[in-house]
Amino acid sequence: MQTLTKTFTGAKIVIETLKQLGVDTIFGYPGGIVLSVYDELAQQSDIKHYLVRHEQSAVHCAEGYARVSDKCGVSVVTSGPGATNIVTGLANAYLDGFPLVVITGQVSAELLHQDAFQEVDIIDITKSCTKKNFQVKCAKDLQKTLIEAYETAMSGKKGPVVVDITKNVFSEKTEFHNIKPQITKIPCPNIDKAVELLKQAKRPLILTGGGAINASEEVIEFARSLNIPVVSTMMGLGVYPADYENYFGMVGIFGNANKAVRESDLIIAIGARFNDRIKGCLGDLSNKLIQIDINKVLPEAIGLIGDAKEILTELISKNIKVQNYTGWIKPETTYYKRSERMHSFEVLSEIQDCIKDKVVTTEVGQHQVWASRCLKFTKPRKFITSGGLGTMGFGFPAAIGACIANGEPVVCIAGDGSFQMNLQEIATCMDYKLPVKIFILNNGYLGMVRQFQEKICEHRYFATKISNPDFVKLAESYGALGLRVEKIEDIKLAVKQVMNYNGTALIDFVIEPEELL
């Protein structure tokens, strides 16, 4: 029996291929070049499109969705400024290692390199912040390119991929085939040397990073079998439950557990890439580091390159016994109150019980560090923050994507500076009736930079004191609930009201302007 071949336009092939890949959610912003793709979206119901208010937000939303769902996030934008607006989102996902396929429109193939209206070379622009990028100039290459893009985003160390499609492709017709993607698996390495080092260690310690998210159960079993301390990078919070007795805290320039790592004689690092903000705090790592990573390891490490879940399963099967060291002293974090005004750590300490088990996203700044210090995460994929790039404006749209992924209220911890980067996305929340809860720690400054100016520039504050809108009125102008809190005793009541509210809500917490981390 002969199989009938389907023939579609390029625009329809985009949608049908995404369906074939299991995509059910797209974040985007339309424009003339991608009009036919949007027309195809309008004629189907398997994929839901979420209209944002800025292309950067579309990519951050897709990343928030990917982080919570463990699926590939997808965005569609148009040519020119639509394409250039995605670069920050791509760089964010690239450094933190989360899978995205971002489709950009491009001028017709015959107009390339002629300075056509809204033509930019998005391929060269995004080479340094994507795993791979593609430009499709004819329809016959479209389906296989989209599938390869998805495979690339989801294989190995995950990350963003751009598919730039010229306008003529969308109207050209070609055959559509049934093709299944192939996700590449990395073989498990030889672990014998690591096993011997563990047996000899006197003060071993486990360090979890963002790459250990999918291996949380194995990390817990491995740590319990060895009965040794566990610390985490900011990106790895929640991989190992913060309420377990042998969890010692966070490492890095704002961490409280750096001393424990420096005093250990063997570090088993799982999914941590040791950037400068981590490595510089931990001293000499030579001769004391086993590094499990899917991508690359430090020259001074015993490297186990592969999937953390599989490597840990292998290590657990060895039933390793380590020497029982009883000299560990669990670190404590102390907080400094600068005035009688409300401080960030007081707000976050008060809301812990109210937001328990909810996904929390953050913007970037002092509030981000306070959230990582004060909130206790007991499960992976519950703390969503910009680690590698430190992107102001990431947290709120990421909360939108996370909320769509899990169908539950999501809390966004923001600073007044960061929130103003993408505050227009309140409209997106209202359009789709999303229960995103925005908690602004409002100090009237770009707090992190102000703190540096206090310490480094002898209190010469320049370009860090900022003006703000009335955030309560802003929320109300979009139709959301807005509250303001200025006293500690009012925190819990306001948070409970917002968490119980069926929709988008915002609390403006007015805090000490010059608090210090």
Q: Which residues are catalytic?
A: 55, 117-118, 167, 448
Task: Give 243: exposed, middle or buried? Use CB within 10 Å, 0-12, 13-18, 19+.
Answer: exposed
Which token pair is 100?
A: 């995205």
Which token pair is 73?
A: 């996030």
- For residues 161-180, b (16+ Cβ closer than 10 Å) or e, as one string? bbbbbbbbbbebebebeeee
Residue 177 per-residue DSSP state: -
Q: Are residues 456 and 88 in contact, defined by beta-carbon separation less than 8 angstroms?
A: no
Amino acid at 392: M
| Closest of 487, 493, 483, 482 to residue 512, by C-alpha | 487
- Measure the CA–CA gap between 383 and 216, rounded to whole angstroms: 14
Q: Are residues 302 and 239 in contact, defined by beta-carbon separation less than 8 angstroms?
A: no
| Interstrand relation of 204-208 and 6-9 (parallel, antiparallel or unpaired) | unpaired
Helix or strand run (H / E) with residue 193: helix 192-200
Task: Give 52: exposed, middle or buried? Use CB within 10 Å, 0-12, 13-18, 19+.
Answer: buried
Residue 128 per-residue DSSP state: G
Residue 70 per-residue DSSP state: S
| Closest of 46, 37, 39, 49 to residue 13, by C-alpha | 37
Q: Cα dist. 408→239, 283, 309, 435, 451 in Å?
A: 20, 41, 27, 7, 35
The three-point CA angle 70-73-75 to 5° equals 175
Amino acid at 252: G
Helix or strand run (H / E) with residue 486: none
Q: Are residues 219 and 240 in contact, defined by beta-carbon separation less than 8 angstroms?
A: yes
- Measure the CA–CA gap between 447 and 464, rounded to whole angstroms: 7
